Structure 1
Amino acid sequence: MASNEIRFDRQPRDDLGVLEVAPRIDGIPLTELIDRFETDAGMQPAGDAYGGLIPEYFRFGPLEDHFHGRSTDAMGPKTPLLGCECGELGCWPLMARIAVTADLVTWDFFEQPYRTARDYTAFGPFQFDRHQYDDALRALSAEISSTDT
């Protein structure tokens, strides 16, 4: 399976006065990918439902741990990759299993926990080269720490 490319965008949420973190896969925001998938699958509600994660609002622990599936946030075995467009993580999260090996990071078994009847088996999986993934996380962490000082 070919590797996907990951980047983590850090962008201002002017409406909330905070910064949010949103994954970008192969150059496309994850919010856009999931909106397209849900809309095409006829899911309701769908479209513009998700937003990035807001580290200032939640105790994710180090983002490296969170995006390696070792989040300090107690939401079960899956990891939230996106929160609700309103900024609240618990309102409408997109969850996935994150599996990490020496060479790969895989995001699969996606779910919307408040709509358990939804079928996300055709969404993903996304596989990332472990080195490229870790480089993207280091870049995000460096960007966040440089603005926190």
Structure 2
Amino acid sequence: MTSNDIRFHCRHRGDGGPLVIVPRIDGAPLTELIDGFEIAAGMQPAGDAYGGLIPEFFQFGPMQDHFLGRSANAMGPKTPVLGCECGEWGCWPLLARITTTAGLVIWDSFEQPHRKTREYTAFGPFQFDRRQYDDALRALNAEIGPDET
């Protein structure tokens, strides 16, 4: 399996609003990837349901730990990788199992916890080279600063 490329895109919500983090996989925002998957699968509601994570609103702990699956507020064994488009991650989150090894980081077992019957087996898995993933996390940390936890 070839590795995917990950970046963490940061932007401010609205005009000077809080910082929003959206993972980009192979150049595409995860929000668009999951929208396309859910729409193609005939899920309802689907499309424009997800948004990025807003560290300022929630006590995830350091984002570097969060995106390694060690979040202070993870939901059981899975980690929120997207929140709701409204900004509240608990409203409509996309959860993933994040597994780390010395050479890889894998996102799989995606879940929409408010729709337990939804089937996400065909979404992912996404496999990242650990060095590239760690570089993306360092870039994220440099962009958001140490206080955005």
Does TM-score exceed 0.5, indicating one fold? yes
Aligned twin of 1:68: 68
User: Can you give the 5+ residue segments of structure 2 that lack an aligned partner in the other structure?
Assistant: none
Percent of pairs with identical residues: 72
Matched, 1:38 2:38: yes
Q: Which amino acid aligns with 1:70?
A: R
The two structures have a TM-score, normalised by structure 1, of 0.96
Q: CA deviation at 1:17?
A: 1.7
Aligned to 1:115: 115
TM-score by length of 2: 0.96
The letter for the 2-side match of 1:80 is P
> Residue 83 of structure 1 aligns with which residue?
83
**Partners of 1:9 and 1:30 in 2: CA distance:** 10
Question: Where do 5+ consecutive residues of structure 1 fail to align?
Answer: none
Runs of 4+ in 1 over 4 A off after TM superposition: none
Question: Paired residue for 1:126?
Answer: 126
Confirm or deny: 8 A CA contact 2:7 2:23 kept in the other structure.
Answer: yes
AA paired with 2:83? G
1:26 match: 26
Structure 1 residue 74: deviation in Å? 4.1
Give the match for residue 106 of structure 1.
Answer: 106
- For the residues of structure 1 that align with 2:46 and 2:98, how far apart are their CA atoms? 24
Matched residues, number: 148
Stretch of structure 1 that moved more, 26-35 or 15-24:
15-24
